[in-house]
Amino acid sequence: MDKIIINGGRVLHGNVRVEGAKNAVLPILAAALLASEGPNIIRDVPNLSDVSTINEVVKSLNAKVEYDPEQGQVIIDSTEELASEAHFEYVRKMRASILVMGPLLARNGFARVALPGGCAIGSRPIDQHLKGFEAMGAEITFGHGHVEATAVNGLKGAKIYLDFPSVGATENIMTAAALAKGTTIIENAAKEPEIVDLANFINEMGGRVIGAGTDAIRIEGVRQLHGTVHHIIPDRIETGTFMVAAAITGGDVTIDNAVPEHNAALISKLGEMGVVITELDEGLRIQAKHPLKAVDLKTMPHPGFPTDMQSQMMALMLTASGTGVLTETVFENRFMHVEEFRRMNASVKIEGRSVIISGPSDLQGAEVSATDLRAAAALILAGLVAEGVTRVTELAHLDRGYVDFHKKLKALGADIERVSEEKKTEKSKQLV
Ligand SMILES: CC(=O)N[C@H]1[C@@H](OP(=O)(O)OP(=O)(O)OC[C@H]2O[C@@H](n3ccc(=O)[nH]c3=O)[C@H](O)[C@@H]2O)O[C@H](CO)[C@@H](O)[C@@H]1O
Ligand SMILES: C=C(OP(=O)(O)O)C(=O)O
C-alpha cells in the first residue's frame, strides 16, 4: 500500500502544468464508440487509472484501443460491430463506465450495463439518464444488478427536461441523440466545460450539437459518425487544486495551461479570501500572503462553485481567520474527509449539509486516509501546512484523477515523497 508523506511548512514557488481533464476524457473516450467509420485519435489524455479503466471498457465492447500514456494519446477504432454489455467489474471500479450506455444504444439499439450503485460521496442514481433514453423511445428494464435499454426501432429525437442539470445524464443523452432520428432538445442541461468539449468532439465526428454550455442543448441526429482528431481541454479541477496549494502555503505559483474562464467561481472566492490572482495568456498566477479571510461558499452546478473543489477549499478554509460556512448542495454525503481533518486537529462542525469552520486551526500532522479522490488531494494540501509529518493512505483514489501529484508539488518546493510498502520492506531488509 502506497503512502504520501509530507513534512509541512514549505512555501510553494514556481510553475506547474496541468493535464487534460479527467471529466472530459472519460465521456469522450466512451463517445468515440459512436464512430463507425475511421479511427478516433484523442490527444492530451492524462495518464490516470480511470483512463485505463475506460479503455478496458471500450476494448471489452469490441473496439480496438491503442493507448500511449507517454504521448498522452488514445486511438480508438470502433468500426467493427460492437458488443452491448458493460460488465460489473468495470462499473464497480469506475462509475463513469455508465457513459458507454448512450453510444451503445445509439449504435446497437440495445445496451446492458451493470448498475453503478452509490459511492463514498452519495447515492448517485441514474434515473435522469434513463428518463432521457425512455423519452427517445427506449424500453428500460432492470434485473440481476443490471439495467437494459432496448430501442427495437431505433431512437427518436425528443424534448427532455432534466430535474437536475446532471453532467452524466446530459452526456449520455447527447451521445444517444447524436445518431437518433430527428432532433433532441435537453432542457435544464448541465453547462460544465466538459459538456462543451464532448459536444465539440461529436461535431468533429460529423454530428450536429448546438447550444452546449447553455441550459438548452439541441442535438440533430445524423445517420453516421466518423473518426476525428480531438484535443482534451485542460483539467479545471487539477488547476483549482494547485491554486489552493499555492494559497494554503502563502506561495507564488504560476499554473500553465489553465483556462481562467473555467474557474471563475473559484477565482472569485479566492479573491474574497485575499489571494491575488493574475490571468496570464495561457495560465494563472496565484500569490497569497497569510492571514487569509474566512468566507462562506455553496457548491452548485456550473457555473457555480464546483463540488469537486469542496474538500480542497475546506482545507484552505481551515487555515483562514474567522468563521466560514461551506454548504454542499450537489452530493448529499460529501463530507467523509471531515473526520480525517479532525485527526489533524481541525475545528470543524457538520450541521446538515453545511460545515462550519472556525479558523485558523492549528493543524498537526497525522496518519490520515483518503475517502475519495478529492479528499485525497485535500488531505495532502492540509499536510503542506500542518506542523510535523502527515501520512496519507488509500492513494488509489488519488491516482484516479491526478498525474504525479506529489512530484508536481515537490517541484514547487514541497517536502513530500511517495513510498510503497514494497520499497519500505526492501529498505528494512537492507538495514538488517
Ligand atoms: C466523470 C465525471 O464527469 N464526474 C463528475 C460528474 O459526475 P456525475 O455525472 O455522476 O454527476 P451528476 O451531475 O450526474 O450528479 C449530480 C447530482 O445529481 C444526482 N443525479 C444525477 C443523475 C441522475 O440520474 N439522478 C440524480 O439524482 C446525483 O446523485 C448528484 O447528487 O459531475 C459531478 C458534478 O459536477 C462531479 O462531481 C463529478 O466529478
Ligand atoms: C467525483 C468525481 O469523479 P467521479 O464522478 O468519476 O466519481 C471527481 O472527479 O471528483
Model confidence pLDDT, tens digit, residues 266-289: 999 999 999 999 999 889 999 999
Starting from the CA of residue 306, give the closest ligand.
Answer: 1
> Which pLDDT does position 295 carry in this prediction?
98
Task: Give the pLDDT score at 122.
Answer: 87
User: Considering only CA atoms, which of 167, 158, 112, 154 is closest in space to residue 308?
Assistant: 167
Report d(CA 27, CA 369) in Å as an integer: 29
Cβ contact 289:317 at 8 Å: no
CB of 308 within 6 A of ligand 2: the answer is yes
Confidence (pLDDT) at 333: 85
Residue 202, judged by CB atoms within 10 A of its CB (0-12, 13-18, 19+), counts as buried
| pLDDT in the model for residue 359 | 87
CA atoms within 13 A on the CB side of 325: 7
The tens digit of pLDDT for each residue in 309-326 reads: 999 999 999 999 999 999
Last residue of one domain, picked from the residues 210, 231, 252? 231
Binned at pLDDT 50, 70 and 90, residue 247 comes out as very high
Average predicted confidence (pLDDT) for the chain = 96
Domain boundary among 216, 231, 246: 231
In angstroms, the CA 4 to CA 14 distance is 21
Residues 226 and 247 in one domain: no
Q: Is the pLDDT of residue 432 over 70?
A: no
- Three-state DSSP class for 418? strand
* pLDDT of 431 higher than 50: no
Whether residues 188 and 323 fall in one domain: no
Q: Is the pLDDT of residue 237 over 50?
A: yes
Q: Which of 22, 51, 164, 173 to mutate to test the pocket of ligand 1 (most atoms within 8 A of CB)?
A: 164
Judged against a pLDDT cut of 90, whether residue 425 lies above it is answered with: no
What secondary structure letter does DSSP report for 181?
B
Residue 429 lies in a domain: no
- Look at residue 54 and tell me if it is in a domain: yes
Q: What's the mean pLDDT in 361-382?
A: 98
Cell 511548512 -> residue: 9
Q: Do 324 and 412 belong to one domain? A: yes
Q: CA triplet 333, 337, 343: central angle to 5 degrees?
A: 140
Spell out the residues 6+ positions from residue 134 whose beta carbon is closer than 8 angstroms to its own.
Answer: 140
Residue with cell 479573491: 271
pLDDT at 423: 57
Q: What is the spatial distance between Cα 276 and Cα 258, in angstroms, rounded to a whole number?
A: 16
pLDDT for 429 beyond 70: no
For CA atoms 271, 401, 306, 378, give the dihedral sign.
Answer: negative
167 falls within a domain: yes
Categorize the per-residue pLDDT at 118 as very low, low, confident or very high, splitting at 50, 70 and 90: confident
Q: Look up residue 150 and give its DSSP letter.
A: E
Residue 304 appears among annotated catalytic residues: no
Q: CB neighbours (10 Å) of residue 428?
A: 9
Question: Is 258 a domain residue?
Answer: yes
Q: Show the domain range for 207.
A: 22-231
The candidate with the shortest Cα–Cα distance to 81, out of 53, 55, 52, 110, is: 110
Any ligand 2 atom below 6 A from CB of 365: no
Domain check: are 266 and 248 in the same one?
A: yes
241 and 161 both lie in a single domain:
no
Note whether residue 430 is domain-resident. Answer: no
Terminal alpha carbon distance of the chain: 22
User: What pLDDT score does 203 carry?
Assistant: 99
Q: What is the pLDDT of residue 135?
A: 98
Residues 273, 341: one domain?
yes
Q: Same structural domain for residues 97 and 122? A: yes
Average the pLDDT over 133-153 and give the result. Answer: 97
Q: In this predicted structure, what is the pLDDT of residue 314?
A: 98
Q: For 384-404, what is the mean pLDDT?
A: 98
Q: Quick one: 246 and 141 in the same domain?
A: no
Residue 366 lies in a domain: yes
Torsion of CA 20, 23, 24, 25, to 10 degrees: 70
Residue from 41, 119, 356, 396 carrying the catalytic annotation: 119
Contact 231, 43 (CB under 8 A): yes
Report whether 126 belongs to an annotated binding site: yes
The whole-number pLDDT of residue 119 equals 85
Range 81-118 burial, b when 16+ CB lie within 10 A, else e: ebebbbbbebbebbbbbbbbbbbbbbbbbbbbbbebee
CA pseudo-torsion sign 300, 305, 309, 313: negative
| CA dist., res. 225 & res. 34, Å (int) | 6
Q: For the residues 397-422, what does the mean pLDDT come to? A: 96
Residues 47 and 250: their CA atoms lie apart, in Å, by 29
- 251 and 326: one domain? yes
pLDDT of residue 282: 85
User: What does pTM read for this prediction?
Assistant: 0.97
221 in the same domain as 281:
no
Q: How many domains does the chain have?
A: 2
Query: Which stretches of 78-214 are assigned E, i.e. beta strand?
Result: 85-86, 110-114, 139-143, 146-150, 159-161, 183-187, 208-210
Residue of 307, 371, 373 to mutate, ligand 2, most atoms within 8 A of C-beta: 373
* Residue-level pLDDT at 428: 41
Residue 339 domain-assigned (yes or no) = yes
**Among the three residues 207, 231, 255, which one is the final residue of a domain in this structure?**
231
The yes-or-no verdict on residue 107 having pLDDT over 50 is yes
Which pLDDT band holds residue 421 (cuts at 50, 70, 90)?
confident
426 assigned to some structural domain: no
Nearest to 18 by CA among 286, 368, 200: 286
pLDDT at 426: 45
What is the 68 CA–ligand 2 centroid distance (Å)? Answer: 23
CA 293 to chain centre: 28
The residue-averaged pLDDT of 327-344 equals: 96
| Same-domain pairing of 245 and 373 | yes
Provide mean pLDDT across the span 98-118. 95
Instruction: Identify the CATH number of the domain in which residue 353 sits.
Output: 3.65.10.10
- Measured in Å, residue 262 CA sits from the centre of ligand 2 at 17
ipTM above 0.95, yes or no: yes
**CA 212 to CA 25: how far, in whole Å?**
17
* Predicted local distance difference test score (pLDDT) of residue 26: 98
pLDDT value at residue 424: 54
Q: Which residues pair with 253 in a beta bridge?
A: 14, 286
Q: What is the mean pLDDT of residues 226-233?
A: 98
Residues 9 and 27 occupy one common structural domain: no
